Structure 1
Amino acid sequence: MERAYALIDATNAEDPHRDQGVPKELLYGRRMTEMLTRYRPDAAETVWLAVRAQHVRRWEVPRSAYPMDKVGYHQWRSGLYRFHAELAGRLVREAGYDEETAARVMLAVGKKQLRENPESQLVEDVASLVFLEHYMADFATGKPDYTEEKWLGIIAKTWKKMSSQARAFALSGNMVLPEHLLPLIRKALADVP
C-alpha cells in the first residue's frame, strides 16, 4: 500500500493548481485518507487505495472541455469516473497488486454499483464527507450567484448519495462543518428522507 500511495501521490504532486500552497489533488487525496481514518478505519485495503486515488490527475479532464450545460456536466462526470478508474487500476498494478485488487479499486473509483457494492458506496461516503467538511464553504464563496434554492439542492443531493452510516457520522460531531452554512444545511436536510 505504501508503494501505491507513493505512486498516486507522485502523480498528484504534478497538479499545477494549488490549495493552501499544496498541489490541489495531492491535498484532496490526503484529506480522503484522513477522513477514512476517522470514519471507517476498518475499511478493506482496496477502499484505502480507492479513496487515495479518487481524483488522480483530475486536472487533465477540465470541466471546460465539455458543453457548459447539464448534459455536458454529466458527460464530464462520467468521463472523469472512467479516467480516474483506469489510472487508479494502472497505478495499483504498478505497485504490485494483482488484477482482482485492481478491478475492485477501479470499480470503487469509477463509482460503479454504488448501492450494490459496499466499497463503491464507502468511497462515495468519504467523498461526500470530505466535500461537506473541506470544500462546501469554499464552493459557496466561489459561487456567489447561486441562489439559496440551488444550495439547498446541492446539499440535498450530496446527502442522498450518502449511506445512513455516513449521514449519522456527519451529524455526530465528528466533523467540522462550516458554521455559517449550518442553518442552510439544517434547512436542506429537513426535507430529505
Structure 2
Amino acid sequence: MSQEKFHQAIQQIDQLNAQDPNTEHYKGNDYPKELLYAQRMSEALDRFEPQAKESLKIAARAQHIARWKIDRQVYPMDRAGYLRWRTDLKKMHAELTGSILDKVGYDPEFIKEVGDLIQKKLLKKNNDTQTLEDVVCLVFLDYYFVDFSEKHTEEKLISILQKTWAKMSEKGQAAALALNLSTPTRALIEKALS
C-alpha cells in the first residue's frame, strides 16, 4: 500500500466531508454529519476486516462523500424516487472519489475498483463488495437505527431489518449480533429473524 497516496486520499475525502452543512451531536460535540459517518465506517471496517485492501479502505471512507449535495426532497417520495436518488448518489460518490484518487496519483484500474465498490457492483459475488455492505449495515445498526426507529412503525422496521439481514454475509450477521445494541433494537432484530 502506498501510505503517502492513501493518506492524501483519506485527507481529501475528509476535507470534502467536513464541509457538510448538516451536523450530528455526538458525545457532547457537533460534527459534520458525513465526516462522522466516514470515520465510523473506517473504524467499523478496521474491526470487522483488519486486513482490508487499500481499495476497500478508501471505498468505506468515501461511502457517503458529499452526500448532502443530492437532496432526497427533489425526487418523488415513493420507492422508485428513493431508488433513483440512491443510484444517483452512488454514481456521484464514485465520481468524486475517482477525481480525488486521480489527483493523488492512483492508476485508472485502482480508481475503477474503488468506484465499483462504492456502487456495490457484484454484491454477493465479490468479497470486498460484500464486506463493504456488511460494514454499512453494521454502522447503521450501531449508530443510526435507534433514531431511525423513532420515525417508523414496528412493521416497517421489521421489514427493513429483514432486508438488511438478507444483504449481509454470515460473518456480518454474527458481527451484528455481537454489537452492544439497545434492548428494544435487539428485541426487534429477534422479531424480524423469527
Per the alignment, in what secondary structure is the counterpart of residue 68 of structure 1? Answer: coil
Task: Mark the CA change 1:179 to 1:94 in structure 2 (over 3 Å): closer, same or farther.
Answer: farther
Measure, in 1, the Cα distance between the counterparts of 2:127 and 2:109. 16
Deviation string, structure 1 residues 4-37 (Cα, Å, up to 9, x no partner): 1100000000000001200000000000000011
Following superposition, the deviation at residue 176 of structure 1 comes to: 2.0
2:183 and 2:39 map into 1 onto residues whose CA distance is 23
Inter-partner Cα distance in structure 1 for 2:20 and 2:13: 12
Deviation at 1:94, TM superposition (A): 1.6
Deviation at 1:177, TM superposition (A): 1.6
Q: Within 5 A, what are the aligned runs for 1:14-29?
A: 14-20=19-25, 21-29=30-38
Residue 153 in 1 paired to residue 159 in 2?
A: yes
Residue pairs, 1:6-155, within 5 angstroms: 6-20=11-25, 21-141=30-150, 143=151, 146-155=152-161
1:77 Cα deviation from its structure 2 partner: 0.9
- Letter of the 1:88 counterpart: T
One-letter amino acid matched to 2:119: G
2:176 counterpart letter in structure 1: A
- Cα distance between partner residues in 1 of 2:193 and 2:118: 27
Could you tell me which of 178, 187, 191 is aligned with 2:191?
A: 187
Alpha-carbon distance between aligned partners in 1 of 2:162 and 2:52, rounded to the nearest angstrom: 26
Mind listing any 5+ residue stretches in structure 1 that lack a counterpart? none
TM-score (norm 2): 0.92
Aligned structure 1 segments of 4 or more residues deviating by more than 4 angstroms? none
Deviation at residue 179 of structure 1 after TM alignment: 2.5
Q: Which amino acid aligns with 1:168?
A: A
8 A Cα contact 1:108 1:121, kept in partner: no
CA RMSD of aligned residues (A): 1.0
Distance 1:183 1:168 in 2: 16
Shift of 1:85: 1.1
Instruction: After superposition, give the CA deviation of every residue in 1:27-52 in whole Å (9 maximum; x if it has no partner).
Output: 00000000011100111110000000
TM-score with structure 1 length normalisation? 0.93
Contact 1:133 1:178 in 2 (8 A): no
Distance 1:4 1:53 in 2: 10
Partner of 2:172: 166
> Is it true that 1:3 corresponds to 2:8 in the alignment?
yes
Quick one: distance in 2 between partners of 1:33 and 1:189? Answer: 28
1:90 alignment partner AA: S
| Counterpart secondary structure, 2:64 | coil
